[in-house]
Amino acid sequence: MRVPFNRIATMLAIIAIVYLAPVASAQNAAPPASSAVANPTYISIVLETAVNRSAADVWKRVGKFCDIGEWLRITCTITSGRDGEVGAVRSVANEVLVGKTELSYTYTQPVRAGRPYNLYHGTLEARPVTATTSKLIYTLMYDNSMLADDAARESDKTRKTTQFTNALANMKVLAEGGKLPPVPVPVPVPDGDLR
Contact 57, 41 (CB under 8 A): no
Burial of 185 (0-12, 13-18, 19+ CB in 10 A): exposed
- Architecture per CATH, 42-175: 2-Layer Sandwich (3.30)
pLDDT tens-digit readout, 112-164: 888 889 999 999 999 999 999 999 999 999 999 999 999 999 999 999 999 99
pLDDT tens-digit readout, 30-59: 555 667 788 899 999 999 999 999 999 999
Domain ranges of the chain: 42-175
pLDDT tens-digit readout, 78-112: 999 999 999 999 999 999 999 999 999 999 999 98
